[in-house]
């Protein structure tokens, strides 16, 4: 079981790392950001677009006040086609995640979440603490892919080690 403090730390880690990745991606041309690099979601921008879509999808399940994103997982790499808009929306949604975790009631962790999974094609029930762990793990996984693509493209994102984050 994770704690609310862990969730708050991971929300801030997400924001810290996104600032680094987007700054590094800003050093590339639009064509370089959109170049298919063989990743699951193709390009740097496609992977970042999927990540924002996924964050919105999970947060809409965690909090009824957060709107579900448009499109599907398969469509997610192309949902945020304008780089400047993607950056603005990422910054704003990172704030949403932090604000949500700052108000997170420890009792919420003990509940279960039921939702229809388009990926599994069925209703799924899982503990909320487990799904929140998945949420943060999903972010880290795809940010790692983006970090590797940026590095291969000659950009220089910051270190990703959690222990380097100021707390």
Residue 36's pLDDT is what? 97
Residue 89's pLDDT is what? 98
Residue 119's pLDDT is what? 85
Residue 106's pLDDT is what? 97
Residue 58's closest CA among 143, 125, 134, 146? 134
Residue 42's pLDDT is what? 96
Residue 100: inside a domain: no
Residue 30: inside a domain: yes
Residue 81's pLDDT is what? 94
159 three-state secondary structure: coil
CB-based contact 146:44 (threshold 8 Å):
yes
Query: Taking the chain (167 residues) in consecutive chunks of 10 residues, what is each chunk's mean pLDDT?
Result: 96 98 98 97 98 98 94 93 98 98 97 93 97 98 98 96 91
Residue 97: inside a domain: no
Residue 102: inside a domain: no
Q: What is the CATH number of the domain that holds 14?
A: 1.20.120.450
Residue 139: inside a domain: yes
Residue 114: inside a domain: yes
Q: Which domain holds residue 129?
A: 4-92+108-160
Instruction: Give pTM, 2 decimals.
Output: 0.96
Residue 87: inside a domain: yes
Residue 98: inside a domain: no
| Total of domains in the chain | 1
What secondary structure does DSSP assign to 55-117, as a single string? HHHHHHHH-TTSPPPSS-TTTGGGS---HHHHHHHHHHHHHHHHHHHHT--GGGGGSEEEEEE
């Amino acid at each position: 079981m994770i704690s609310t403090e862990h969730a708050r730390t991971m929300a801030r880690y997400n924001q810290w790392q996104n600032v680094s990745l987007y700054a590094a991606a800003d050093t590339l041309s639009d064509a370089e950001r959109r170049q298919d690099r063989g990743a699951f979601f193709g390009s740097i921008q496609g992977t970042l677009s999927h990540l924002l879509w996924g964050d919105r999808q999970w947060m809409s399940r965690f909090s009824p006040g957060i709107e579900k994103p448009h499109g599907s997982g398969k469509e997610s790499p192309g949902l945020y086609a304008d780089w400047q808009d993607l950056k603005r929306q990422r910054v704003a949604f990172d704030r949403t995640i932090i604000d949500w975790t700052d108000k997170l009631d420890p009792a919420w962790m003990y509940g279960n979440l039921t939702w229809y999974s388009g990926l599994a094609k069925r209703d799924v029930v899982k503990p909320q603490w487990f799904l929140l762990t998945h949420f943060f793990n999903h972010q880290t996984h795809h940010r790692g892919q983006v970090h590797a693509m940026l590095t291969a493209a000659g950009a220089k994102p910051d270190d990703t080690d959690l222990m380097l984050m100021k707390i």
